[in-house]
Amino acid sequence: MNFKKRKLKLGGFSGLPPFSKLIIERIQNSGLPILSEFQPVELCNLDYNPVRGSSIDPHMDDTWLWGERLITLNLLSPTVLTFTKNTTEVAVPMPSRSLIIVSGPARHHWKHAIKRQDICARRIAITLRELSNEFSKGSSHEEIGSAILEQAMAFQGTTVCYNLKNSLK
């Protein structure tokens, strides 16, 4: 994918990993209307460790490719997700085994980060992203969007885990 040129190719994408099928089914069947039709095409496993000084700098996820909802499962240890907008900062506690949905103004107007000082023990985060409306039915990129979604939902992908050594930008 090339965010600057806004180009996307299926390439070597083999889909979401098999273990994620149950997680996604539980999310879709949670009874929360905001999640009933959530169809992720990306799953990121992030491994945070305080010994390595793991963190993620304040950022906004791309809006051309990624859709309205970003979902993160916080595993192993509690942490804090920090939202910033101009000089305002809001700290959102994330207990172990919690799920957070970032959407609406939090998705589009606030940056989010995990500060180094908020990683007190090893943390695994699973972040799921859906495609934006740019790739939905009736859009100019419908064909590639459908192909990516079909491949993702085959659940034949391999798992890649990012060990955050320092700050990830």
pLDDT, tens digit (0-9, with 9 covering 90-100), for 79-94: 999 999 999 999 999 9
Q: Class of 39-164 per CATH?
A: mainly beta
pLDDT, tens digit (0-9, with 9 covering 90-100), for 116-145: 999 999 999 999 999 999 999 888 889 989
Structure tokens at 52: 């390595």
Q: Where are the domains of the chain?
A: 39-164
What is the DSSP code (8-state) at residue 95?
-
21-30 contact pairs (CB < 8 A, 24+) = 21/155, 23/73, 23/126, 24/128, 27/71, 27/99, 27/128
Q: What is the pTM of this model?
A: 0.88
Please report the pLDDT score of residue 167 as a whole number: 45
> Across 24-166, where does the E strand assignment appear?
40-48, 55-59, 66-75, 79-85, 88-94, 98-102, 111-114, 123-131, 161-163
Q: 């060990």: which residue's tokens?
A: 163
Confidence of residue 159 (pLDDT cuts 50, 70, 90): confident
9-13, 73-77, 128-132, 163-167: range with lowest mean pLDDT: 163-167
